Amino acid sequence: MADSGIPGHRWVDSTWAFLQEGYPFIRKRCAKYRSPVFQTRLLGRRTLCLSGLEAAELFYDARRFVRTPTSTPAPLRNILLGTGSVQGLDGAPHARRKQLFLELLDTQNVQRLARLFEARLSEAIARLPANQPFDCLPWLEALLCRSVCEWAGVAPMNDQAMHRLTRRLASLIDGNGRLDWRMPAAWMRRKACEAQAVGWIEECRREGDSAAQQSPLHKLAQHRDDQGQLLPPHVAAVELLNLLRPVVAVGRFQLFGLIELERRPQWRANIVANEGAAWAFSEEVRRFYAFFPMVAAFVRERFEWRGYRFEKGTRVLLDLFGSNRDPSHWKTPESFAPERFGQCPMKTSVISQGGGEYTYHRCPGEPLTLALMQQTFEYLCRHVHWRLDVKEVDFQRLPMLPREPVLISVVTG
């Protein structure tokens, strides 16, 4: 045990072990040390790892921890989030930029995007041939990408250009956390996405006020920082992608939900019959399948917590996956059980998209994620006869996915 009182081995690098073990990495070691925190090294840097909902409450205390552009390792940060994004800001700059996202993702805008997605989903299902299986995830991602581009005010694209954009955005998600050939491929696609988004921002600024001036694209293009200056085109483009990419990522939550609906046909009937059932089911999907394993910050000032000393400047990782399975909070956390949420929406302790307040570092797109998930499950359960070829999800894979493509088909007869 180190002088800080924190168990673990501060000089042993665990990067390889993390890549091999995947999502259970932090939770397993917290159990081993019988501690909500342990120390190790990841990518050569001393790191404290936290797990559990009490630890999450600590982590989202802005007096204790600070987010900076270097909180997340550069290869992962640059592929997933981009340089200059709101996730790397803190204090007043973060508050101002975050307020923009809260406005862009208010209730009215969430409902507008949800309606667009439902329309695209209905159109796509009407075109599907019966009893012919196809890969479910790329199909969902394509529908989400088309919907969010229309919602954001991005200029219409032909099918080929839309397909290319969808695959690029999906690559940013899948290449994040993979120290293999996918990472450089994802990096190249990130640069291509940013160049395309810079073009949209600059075109919007050239056009000035127009009928589309209330679109998310226009608001991002015209947003000003604390000094009253327009964001650099590259930064505005990064933030536009931070609207588009997370919506495409919702396809994974939708996929995991469809897998569970195939395993639990009683929940298909429950969703049809009971208002609130789709919400409870969606929350359990997010709890059980937290596909971002962790988030990072630095200790703001030295402090003690539960007898452990946290030194200023130390990098800290919060285990999202394990905290969502904290046995001190969740009964039978390893079981998929939507009924644990009851039938009425309420504030929960699911932290798959961050914790704390939306004005801090909790994802402002969380209500949108839930809306798109609920809409998908309700529509498919109520209006479509479908069958899924269920595959096991690989929790060692970063980010998690089924071991093989999951095929879905519309069933007739």
- Binding region for heme: 363
Question: Which residue positions form the known binding site?
Answer: 363
Under DSSP, is residue 3 helix (H, G, I), strand (E, B) or coil?
coil
Cβ atoms of 166 and 142 within 8 Å: the answer is yes
Strand 294-299 and strand 65-66: the pairing is antiparallel
Q: How many helices (H) and strands (E) does the chain have?
A: 15, 13
Going by the DSSP 8-state scheme, the letter that residue 398 receives in this structure is: S
Q: Give the pair of three-digit tokens for residue 247.
A: 């919506």
Cβ atoms of 399 and 291 within 8 Å: the answer is yes
Q: Give the pair of three-digit tokens for residue 287.
A: 């709890």
Cβ atoms of 397 and 22 within 8 Å: the answer is yes
Alpha helix positions (H), 128-215: 136-152, 159-174, 182-207
Determine the Cα angle at 258 with ends 256 and 260, to 5°: 75
Round to whole Å and give the CA distance between 389 and 386: 10
